[in-house]
Structure 1
Amino acid sequence: MAVVLGNDDVSAALAELPGWSGDSGGIERSVTAPSFLDGIRLVAEVAHVAEAADHHPEIDIRWRTLTFRLFTHSVGGVTEKDLALARQINELIG
């Protein structure tokens, strides 16, 4: 079973994850894509990575603005799985 990270651990990890904010309850990052279609392509890329990891973010799409929210639903907080997926999302964002 995954272990929920404490606020200090999440804060330390976020210092190395540009664009992300949050606490032990969840982390999120918003980005603005150059166009609506570019945003949808990014969502599709994130979906493939998330599916491979069997760990799925909440994604909010508002025209060109995408917000990714991560927390491990089964334990009710941020775990290493969330941090790993955040790193992968950052790589896709570039």
Structure 2
Amino acid sequence: MLLTEEELREQVSKLEGWKLDQNTMVRKYMFNEFMKGIAFVDAVAAISEAFDHHPHITIDYKTVTLRLTSNEEGGITPLDIREAHEFNEAFEKAR
């Protein structure tokens, strides 16, 4: 079930660092060491497997960018929001 525009704005405003880009949520995570970013990606992979919902991941040296959307739904769902919260928690542990 897709979130309404109002629900989406409200939920994303509660997620530190996340922004909307059309039908996608995006966050860039910055690390002071390359290997900390890689460890974070490992945590993201474990979370994604548990949710059976996988983000687009870009690694650019010390920056990891995650993009979340529910392709089968055609936009952002509550699952994306819950997963983004988990990614933020993993980031706090990784840095």
TM-score category of the 2 structures, normalised to the smaller one: over 0.9
What RMSD in Å do the two structures reach over aligned CA positions?
1.1
TM-score, normalising length from structure 2?
0.92
Shift of residue 69, structure 1, vs aligned partner? 0.4
State how far apart, in whole Å, the 2-side matches of 1:81 and 1:54 are: 10
Match of 2:47 in 1: 49
Match of 1:9 in 2: 7
Match of 1:89 in 2: 87
Structure 1 SS opposite 2:73: coil
Match of 1:37 in 2: 35
Shift of residue 24, structure 1, vs aligned partner? 6.3
Gaps of 5+ in 1: none
**Cα separation, partners in 2 of 1:24 and 1:7, compared to 1, 3 Å:** farther
Greater Cα offset, 62-71 or 21-30: 21-30
Regions of 4+ moved over 4 Å: none
State how far apart, in whole Å, the 2-side matches of 1:23 and 1:7 are: 13
> What's the % identity of the aligned pairs?
34
TM-score, normalising length from structure 1?
0.93
Amino acid at match of 1:73: N
Count of matched residue positions in the alignment of Structure 1 and Structure 2: 92
